[in-house]
Amino acid sequence: MKSSKRKKVLGVNIDHVATLRQARRGTEPSVRQAALEAVRGGADGITIHLREDRRHIQDRDLEEIRRVLKVPLNLEMAFVPEMTAIALRARPEKICIVPERRRELTTEGGLDVLRKEKALKRALPRFVKAGIEVSLFIAPVPEQVRAAARTGAQAIEIHTGAYAHAQGRQRAYELSRIKTAARLAAALGLKVNAGHGLNYQNVLPLVRIPELEEFNIGHSIVSCAIFTGLKQAVRRMKKIIAV
């Protein structure tokens, strides 16, 4: 009998390579080179977040990476007209719609799909028609999962920040919420991804959740790369999720 076990996929977020570059507003380190090096290390895809304030990834990065990349590009984006137009023009293989606030250091929570459901239902067919897989970045809340399925999105990415920052019994509780949301999403026909705050230690319990297919990880890998090099840092993470 053919195994139903899903292959675990690693998407490497390289935003913080751009953060370092933007500290001097120069050209080093090269985001394009970082993307290619991550792929050499085993990344199954590359994730970048083109923020409205352009604090790290720039429009030119999207263009350059799109041109050279041989693995899927996942563009994280706010649900605003400017980003919709950019995504439809660049046509990455995937987009992940995330909430975005100007003052936040990083994405602080999941998208409120319930509140935006009607607007998402109107907008998402444009991406699907363009051949772009749409994921919604949401908290592991059943009502949000059901709403995501109703919008026509093909996937969700579960916000794992609460799990990553919790300890002891609270972490076990957050893990159970992720498991419940992942099972529900898969039952509704959604592809289930996970990301935010994941590192070399806390990712393993999530790898054991059968419904989770893709892990988008950036800060921890880039931090490790300072000491080991990016290719080796990606290889280390890929080895963990490929168990």
pLDDT band, residue 2 (cuts 50/70/90): very low
Return the active site residues: 49, 76, 196
In a domain, 2, yes or no: no
Cis peptide before 29 (omega within 30 of 0): yes
pLDDT in tens, 108-127: 679 999 999 999 999 999 99
The Cα–Cα gap between 156 and 161 comes to 15
What three-state secondary structure class fits 108? coil
Helix and strand totals (H; E) in the chain: 11, 8
In a domain, 87, yes or no: yes
Structure tokens that stand for 157 in this block: 């990415």
pLDDT in tens, 172-215: 999 999 999 999 999 999 999 999 999 999 999 999 999 999 99
Cα-based angle 214, 216, 220 (whole degrees, multiple of 5) = 135
Residue with tokens 């007209």: 81
Residue 105 pLDDT > 70: no
Cβ contact 76:48 at 8 Å: yes
In a domain, 58, yes or no: yes
Number of domains in the chain: 1
The Cα–Cα gap between 67 and 93 comes to 12
Structure tokens that stand for 192 in this block: 């289930």
The Cα–Cα gap between 13 and 216 comes to 6
Q: Which helix (H) or strand (E) holds 121?
A: helix 113-129
The Cα–Cα gap between 76 and 185 comes to 20
Residue 171's CATH number: 3.20.20.70
Phi, psi torsion values for 182, nearest 5 degrees = -65, -40
Q: For residue 213, what are the domain limits? A: 9-241
Cβ contact 192:212 at 8 Å: yes
Nearest to 110 by CA among 119, 121, 98, 120: 98
Q: How many CB atoms lie within 10 A of CB 57?
A: 25
- Looking at residue 238, what DSSP letter applies? H
In a domain, 3, yes or no: no
Residue 106 pLDDT > 90: no
pLDDT band, residue 1 (cuts 50/70/90): very low
In a domain, 20, yes or no: yes
In a domain, 1, yes or no: no
Distance of CA 86 to the CA centre of its chain: 18
pTM of the model: 0.93
Using CA atoms, how far residue 28 sits from 48, 124, 196, in Å, is 17, 36, 25
